[in-house]
Amino acid sequence: MRDVREVDLEFRFVTPRGVRWVHARSNPMRGNDGTVIGRVGTIEDITERKEAEAAREEDAYVSASLADVGRELISSLETPVLVTRLCDLTATVLGADYSTTWMHQLDEDVYVPLATHGLSAEQWDVLRGVRFRIDSFGESLRAQLGRGEITVLRDDGNIPRGLAEILTRHQAKLVVCIPILKGGVPIAAQIAGYRDPDATFTAARARLARGIGQLTSMALTNALLFEEVANASRLKSEFVSTMSHELRTPLNVIIGYTDVLADDPPADERARLLAKVRHTSLELLEMITATLDLGRIASGRDVPQMERVDARTLWGALESELAALPCREGVAIRWDDAGDVALLTDRRKLTTIVKNLVGNACKFTASGEITIGCEAGASTGTIIVRDTGIGIAKESLPFIFEMFRQGDSSDSRSYNGAGLGLYIVQRLVTQLGGSVEVESNIGQGSTFRVTLPLAGSVVEPIAAIA
C-alpha cells in the first residue's frame, strides 16, 4: 500500500558554494477511484531564511549573555571578587576550558595573575609566581594590547617563548587575550584558553569577547575608583547606593528589550524596541564616560594643555556632536553666535565641560529650549548654558557641584544619572583657571556660567585639586 501521509521536511546539504537549506512538502495524489496514484509537492530553497533565523538567535544569545555578564560584574565593587567572577563568566560565556585574569602593575611594568577558573590547584600555584614583563610579549602583541585589540594565539611556534611555555603547561592549543582598558590605557588582560586542537574563534565569540572587555573595563574602573575613595565614608555609601542603582537600571531595561527582540516581533515594533535600546545605551554610556572622566581627574596626571580655542569653531564641532543627545521630544538646542571670542584653555576639557552642561540641561528639560552662548569681557570669556527645565531648589544650590549629588539624591528620584556631571564640570573649570556659577529657580529653568581667561592671558594650569 502506498504512503498516504503528507510529507513536510527541512534538510541541509553541503555544496561547493557552502551549506544550503531546503524545505520539501508533498501530498498524495489520488485517482478518480480515490486510490493513491502518485505524489505532488514543492521544494523551496530556504537558505536565506535559515541564515536570518540563525543570525537572530546569535544576536539574542550575545545580547543576553553580555547582559548577564554586565549585571554580574557591576554588582561587585571589590576587585578580588570582581576578577573571580570575571574568570568564571569568561570561561562560561566563551566556552573556554580555562580563564585567567592578569593585572598590569604600572610601577614595575609587569603583568601578574590575580584569578583563574578551570586550572588545577597545582597549575594555579605555579602560575601565581609568574611575572610577565611587557617587553617579553613581542612587538606585535604589545602593540595590539596597547590599541585595545583582542589577540588570538595558537601554539604553532610563532609566539613568544614565555607565552608558549604557559600554553604547553596548560595543554592549550588556542588562547584569546582580551585587553582591559582604563582611560584608553591597558590595566589588565583576560585570557581564555582552549585545549581542543580544532577550537576556533568564531565571529560570535569575537563579539562576546569584545563585550566582555568593554564591560570589564567599566566594572574594573568603577571598582578601582571605589577603592580610591574608600577612606571617605560618606562618598563610599553614596557611591554604592547611586552607582549600583543607576547602572543596573539601564542594564535591566536593555535585558528586557532584548528578550522581546528574541521573539522576532514585527518590523515596526522591532524598530521601536531598538530605538529604546539605543536611548538606554546612551544613558549608560553617559554614566560610563562620567566615571572615566572622574578617574582621569583623580589621577592628578591629566595636566591641561592650554591653547587658543575659537568659540565659534568649537560651537560648530559640538553642534553636530551633541545633536544625538537623548533630549525630550520638542526640546530645541540653540547655539547662539559666539562671535570672535577666543579662549585660552584646554580644548578637550572645555569640550567635556560644555557636553556635561548641555547633557544635564537635556535631562532636566521636558519642554522649551536649551541655549548655548558665549560673551567676552575685558580679560575673560563666559560660556552660558541656559535651559527652561525644572530648575533647582535654592537649598540644593550649594551642593549641586558635589560628587553623586542631584537635587533629589534619594533612590526614588525621577531622573537617572550618577550625579557626576556637574562635579566634573567644577573640577575641570578649576583646572583651567576659571569659575562656574549657577542661577536657578524651581519651575523656571537654570543658567550656568563658565568664566575662563581670554586668549592672550597668562594662566598657570592646575593638574588636580584634592
Q: What CA–CA distance (Å, rounded) separates 7 from 24?
A: 8
Q: What CATH fold (topology level) applies to the domain 7-45? A: Complement Module; domain 1 (2.10.70)
Phi, psi dihedral angles at 166 (to 5 degrees)? -70, -40
Domain boundaries, the chain: 7-45, 53-228, 304-453
- Which pTM does this prediction carry? 0.44
Give whole-number Cα distances, 299 to 18, 432, 433, 462, in Å: 54, 16, 19, 13
The per-residue pLDDT for range 172-228, each reduced to its tens digit, is 888 999 999 888 888 889 999 999 988 888 888 999 999 999 899 888 888 887 777
The CATH superfamily of 304-453 is Histidine kinase-like ATPase, C-terminal domain (3.30.565.10)
Ranges of beta strands (E only) in 410-462 are 435-440, 446-453
Q: How many CB atoms lie within 10 A of CB 400?
A: 22
Rg of the chain taking only CA atoms, in angstroms: 28
* Class level of CATH domain 53-228: alpha beta
- Extract the C-alpha cell encoding 311: 568659540
Say if CB 29 and CB 4 are below 8 A apart.
no
The per-residue pLDDT for range 266-276, each reduced to its tens digit, is 888 888 888 77
Q: Which of 146, 136, 206 is nearest to 179 (CA)?
A: 146
Per-residue pLDDT of the chain (466 residues; tens, 9 = 90+): 455 678 888 888 888 888 888 888 888 888 787 787 788 888 888 888 888 887 788 888 888 888 888 888 888 778 888 999 999 999 999 999 999 999 988 777 888 999 999 999 998 988 888 888 776 666 777 788 778 888 888 877 667 777 777 788 888 888 999 999 888 888 889 999 999 988 888 888 999 999 999 899 888 888 887 777 665 566 556 656 666 656 666 777 788 878 888 888 888 888 888 877 876 787 677 667 766 766 676 666 677 889 999 999 999 888 877 776 767 778 888 999 888 899 999 988 898 899 889 988 988 898 899 999 999 888 999 999 999 999 998 888 888 887 766 554 444 444 555 567 888 889 889 989 999 999 998 988 999 999 999 987 655 555 544 4
H helices of 79-180, in order, are 79-94, 121-127, 139-146, 161-169
